[in-house]
Amino acid sequence: MQESNMAGWQRKQTSVEKGIVIPDEWPGYPLELFSLPEHYSEDLDCVYIPHGVIMDRIERIARNILEDLGDHDIVVLCVLKAGYQFCADLVDSIKVLCRSSSKTLPMRVDFIRLKSYLNDQSTEVLHIEGAENLSVLSGKAIVDTGKTMKTLLNHVEAFKPKMIKVAGLLVKRVPSGTGYLPDYVGFDISNRFVVGYALDYNEYFRDLNHICVISDRGKLKYKI
């Protein structure tokens, strides 16, 4: 195992890719250091993961996927809505890498929509819409309790794909978690409600480039 620290973040490399581990005590960056929409000026506590860091991490995941799956013909299953930006940037990164690699990765893209949140709480009711012909690589923005992903995988397995690989941008450390870990992980984070980079709170905050922590005022303002 190799470990290194940068700006309070701990990067761990093991035989299983666990992503960048952001410790529970990580305070995030002050909002005034970044360019943010004025309409959210009082609705956020901090910038948790800057956009540039997200993009660098996605490029590394793309390299890992190309190394593992190169020369296969795959279907990328984008999990909407929160996963659309992650999936789009991941696919773009893979395409760029393919242009300078001896490996190729032909990709088709399909979409499926999941909804399991009300305000900032994950509910027991999961709605699955779309995708009738599925195959290998799934892209999801957040894996928290793992229950949603297990339900989705059961749904996908019914189509009898040759293999399934899951890429998750964020994995939350939650007490009620099932211990599920995607094959490719961007960041391992504490149990905080984050928004931005297509992650929403009742459909708001998808227009943020950075991943941020929503404030109590923001939760109250956009609560339904």
Residue 59 within any structural domain of the chain: yes
How confident is residue 164, by pLDDT bands cut at 50, 70 and 90?
Answer: confident
Task: Assess whether the previous peptide bond of 103 is cis (omega < 30° from 0).
Answer: no
Q: Can you tell me the distance from the alpha carbon of 122 to that of 119, in angstroms, rounded to the nearest whole number?
A: 8
152 phi, psi to nearest 5 deg:
-65, -45
CATH code of the domain containing 103: 3.40.50.2020
Residue 199 within any structural domain of the chain: no
In percent, how much of the chain has pLDDT > 90? Answer: 51
Question: Is 188 one of the annotated active-site residues of the chain?
Answer: no
Sign of CA dihedral 209, 18, 22, 216: positive
Domain interval for residue 170: 51-189
How confident is residue 30, by pLDDT bands cut at 50, 70 and 90?
Answer: very high
Is the per-residue pLDDT at 135 higher than 70?
Answer: no
Is the per-residue pLDDT at 14 higher than 60?
Answer: no
Residue 202 within any structural domain of the chain: no
Per-residue pLDDT reduced to its tens digit, 69-79: 888 888 898 88
Number of H helices, E strands in the chain: 4, 12
Number of domains in the chain: 1
Residue 29 within any structural domain of the chain: no
pLDDT on residue 120: 54
Three-state SS for 110? strand
Is the per-residue pLDDT at 179 higher than 90?
Answer: no
Maximal CA-CA distance, the chain: 52
How confident is residue 150, by pLDDT bands cut at 50, 70 and 90?
Answer: confident
- Among 12, 85, 78, 8, CA closest to 46: 8
Residue 149 within any structural domain of the chain: yes
Residue 7 within any structural domain of the chain: no
Q: Can you tell me the distance from the alpha carbon of 4 to that of 49, in angstroms, rounded to the nearest whole number?
A: 18
Residue 153 within any structural domain of the chain: yes
Residue 67 within any structural domain of the chain: yes
Q: Taking residues 130-148, what's their average pLDDT? A: 55
Annotated catalytic residue, options 144, 183, 188, 200: 144
